[in-house]
Amino acid sequence: MKTIKKLFFVFALLAFVCSCKNNNSNTPTTNTDNSTEKQSDDKTGQAFITDDEATPNCLQIAINSPDHKTLVAAVQAAQVENALVNVGPLTVFAPNDAAFAALPEGTVENLVKPENKETLANILKYHVTPGNLSTTILTKLPKLGQANNQYIKVEVVDGKAVIGGANIIASVKAGNGIVHVIDKVLLPPTE
């Protein structure tokens, strides 16, 4: 399992490096008005490429879902969009809006603040497992190694996998894995 986790992080790092904007410093630039260049606020990377023909990736599935607006806002606030499209296969446990609404009042608003970006990214990574794990496979595993280097317990209740206390209410195949819609936000254990 440690080898798989190491490979996952190597691939994640490689995907991050590959998704960075390629700036060619050998190309001369001309600035005729002597003002400083404006920094681009455009988002770059594969997460922002549109393609109407391919199977939607994990991020596109969440973006196109009317029940995952809070999750998408959290992913954007943590700036982890590219991680959900570049690396694969992935199993993403996607809490719906009702799951976020069940958190204590003010929790989501606090987490999406810029100063809490790392905490939010850690929580979101706790919702991602390397591999394409169907519900059948999940029922055979006692725990999962998550993208934040922590483990989450898998229980079988009435023949169905329950992930960290969250029920899987739907599953959608993605171009880079699978998205399991869950009814609870998974919070990593504190150390």
**pLDDT digits 0-9 by tens, 45-97:** 544 455 555 689 999 999 999 999 999 999 999 999 988 886 689 999 999 99
**pLDDT digits 0-9 by tens, 169-179:** 999 999 999 99
Full-model pTM:
0.72
65: tokens are 């879902």
Name the residue among 119, 57, 40 with its Cα closest to residue 94: 57
The Cα–Cα gap between 161 and 141 comes to 9
Percent of the chain with pLDDT strictly greater than 70:
70
pLDDT of residue 88: 82
**pLDDT digits 0-9 by tens, 147-167:** 999 999 999 999 999 999 999
The Cα–Cα gap between 143 and 138 comes to 9
- Domains in the chain, please, with CATH? 2-16+54-133+170-182 (2.30.180.10)
